[in-house]
Amino acid sequence: MRPEIAGYQPQLDTLVGFVEGRVDGLALDAALGSAQMQSLLAMFEDPQYPASTNFFQKLHNGANRTSLGGLVNSEGIIEQFLGKAEVPFKPLKRYGNLYSLILSAVPNYVDPPVEFITQKILPADQTLSDTAKKKLTKQRVKELFRYTDKPPRWIQGADWPIRDGRPLIFVGQIAVDAPELFHDKGAVFVFFDPSGGGFETVAQFY
């Protein structure tokens, strides 16, 4: 450990805990609000290259921890900082491994929140092989994200509605080409809520 960071042990414990899988994104966000953590992460800033050397700014601006991609970025940024600070750690790649599994097992028409993925989709048995996890994940996605004929062909990012912990059923999409009403072409995606018997729509435009 570099001697100049010796007085930041509680903050270092949080950073190491995150990359080792003991601290979640919410706890990390809370810790980033402290002046001590901000001071620690800015310690190696080069005034000529602040964007790439101020690790607090990199975490604050470039890693939205409400998304899986942001959590993966956070892992990488903190691992880079700990390496520069010469702090030993055992990287778990908790979110990176999860991201790899999702990329291989979840179709691109589905993009549920991280909490939904971990609680509703991923197998609870972490001793399973990667092949078994992938198979069970694919099966679970198929069970949860149902559609009547074909899955949605999103124009922008996937935006499948989830209500009360259950994805709605995709019924179909309607092309929108009305220049007198809208500047761009697009589509309306129609979903059915079996619990309430109603319909919900999502509109996207090019």
Output the average pLDDT for the chain.
91
Which two tokens mark 112? 């549920």
Residue-level pLDDT at 63: 65
Which two tokens mark 64? 């939205």
CB neighbours of residue 111 within 10 Å:
16
Query: pLDDT tens digits for 124-175?
Result: 887 888 899 999 999 999 999 999 999 999 999 999 999 999 999 999 999 9
pTM (2 d.p.): 0.65
